[in-house]
Every structure is written in structure tokens, then in C-alpha cells.
Amino acid sequence: MVEVSVIIPAYNEEDKIEKTLDSLKLIPEIKEIIVVDDGSLDRTAEAARKKGIVVIQMGKNTGKSRAVFQGLLQAKYDLIALVDADLEESAAEIKKLILPVIRDQADMTVAHFNERVSGGGFGIVKKIAAYLLAKITGHAVESPLSGQRVLRRSLLEHVGRFTRGFGLEFGLTAISLQRGLRVVEVETDMFHRLHGRSLKGFIHRGRQLIDIIRVLLIIMVNKKEVVK
């Protein structure tokens, strides 16, 4: 049996995280779940601990990339699943991402959300990220910003040096493709919290875009090291 560590970066998800954890516990390959509470202002950490989960608490909100790598320091196993805290019951779909990596059909799997299930939004940042990835890698990617991924820890450790904040997913995809690795997008029925057209949503998308551009610049500056 292949053993998987799950890392969940979480920020203010007390109303969603318990159902997410319950769903992940049903997957036999998952032997370890680590929640990194990234400076939440609610009871996210308490909700996770109530489920018997290891929780790492950051002193303040440090950004998704740093939270993930704090979790990686704690993780025991070679296969790593990155999962958002707000998937609730649909977190069980991560099984679809684990299997291709176990079977050596992919070096990294990425969840593609079925739009009929997940809902939609403007998709502006997603389209920009997909365009940039196509320009620098020559590959078309449907879900460049999906936070649900399964990969080997060695790849995550390498890519970590070139990522910032919400640019983690963009960096993972860009560097993996540039290195000729097999990145497989897997269609799922996952759903998660949508920020929509609220002020919070605009701010979130703005932060995403800034972090993506920062990561793109870092990759370009370190191109030789990235693709070796």
C-alpha cells in the first residue's frame, strides 16, 4: 500500500474543514493529514484538532506557499497531496488524483473542476495564468490555479524555492512542464468556496495575479536552475 501525506493550508475555514477532513479519512492510501492554520482569526485550528488531526499554527497569515512548506517539514511520506480546506465532502475526489501517480502514469496530477458542479466566476486570472503557461512551456493547461494536486515531495521541495504566496500552483505547473515531467489534469466533481463578485473576491484575485507575476519573474531569472 502506498502511503500519502496530505497537507491542507487553511485560513478561516472553521465552517468547512471538518467535513473536508472526514472525507479524506475515508481514503485508505492517506496515512497522514497535516493542517497548517495560516493565522486564522476563527476556530479553524480547534475544528481540525477535534478531528484528531496534526495542526501547525502560523503566528500570522504568511501566504499559501509558505504554509504548504511548513506542512512539508512535518510530512512523513514521499507522496504528497495538496488539498484546500473548503472542499467538504468533495475532498473524497482526491482519490482520483492519487491513483495515476501511484501507477506511474503521471509525475503530478492536478484536479480539473467540473464547471457544472463547482460553479463559475470571471476566470480572468485563470485565463491569464493559462496564457502565460502556454507562452513559457508550449503546453495548454485548463486548470493552472487548481490547489488540489498529488506529487512527489522531491518535486515540491525543488519548486518551493521559486514560489511565492498564491503563485505556488502556477510555479508547480510551469516548472514541471519545463522539466518535461508528466502533468496530468484529472476531471473531478470537486467544489469549493467561490469568492464571486464581492470586494473580497476582487482582492483575492488581485493577490493571485500579483503572486503569479512574481513567480514568473523568479522562474525567468532562474531558468537554467529551473529546467535542470
What residue has cell string 504568511?
A: 62
* Overall domain count for the chain: 1
Q: Is the pLDDT of residue 199 over 80?
A: no
Q: Is the pLDDT of residue 225 over 70?
A: yes
Q: Which residues contact 31 (CB under 8 A, 6 or more apart)?
A: 3, 4, 5, 76, 77
DSSP 145: T
Instruction: At 47, list the grid cell.
Output: 475544528
Q: Is the pLDDT of residue 17 over 80?
A: yes
Residue 226's pLDDT is what?
82
Which string of DSSP letters, residue by residue, matches 29-97? TEEEEEEEE-S-SSSHHHHHHHTT-EEEE-SS---HHHHHHHHHHH--SSEEEE--TT-GGGGGGGHHH
Q: What band does 196 get if pLDDT is binned at 50, 70 and 90?
A: low
pTM above 0.75, yes or no: yes
Instruction: Show the domain range for 16.
Output: 4-227
Q: Is the pLDDT of residue 111 over 80?
A: yes
Q: What band does 160 get if pLDDT is binned at 50, 70 and 90?
A: confident
Q: Is the pLDDT of residue 102 over 70?
A: yes
The answer to whether the beta carbons of residues 85 and 21 sit under 8 Å apart is no
pLDDT (tens digit per residue) in 166-186: 899 999 999 999 999 999 999
Q: Give the separation between CA 53 and CA 91, rounded to whole angstroms.
A: 16
Q: Is the pLDDT of residue 119 over 60?
A: no
Q: Which residues pair with residue 111 across a beta bridge? A: 186
CATH number of the domain that 171 lies in? 3.90.550.10
Q: Give the separation between CA 16 and CA 36, rounded to whole angstroms.
A: 15
Residue 153's pLDDT is what?
95
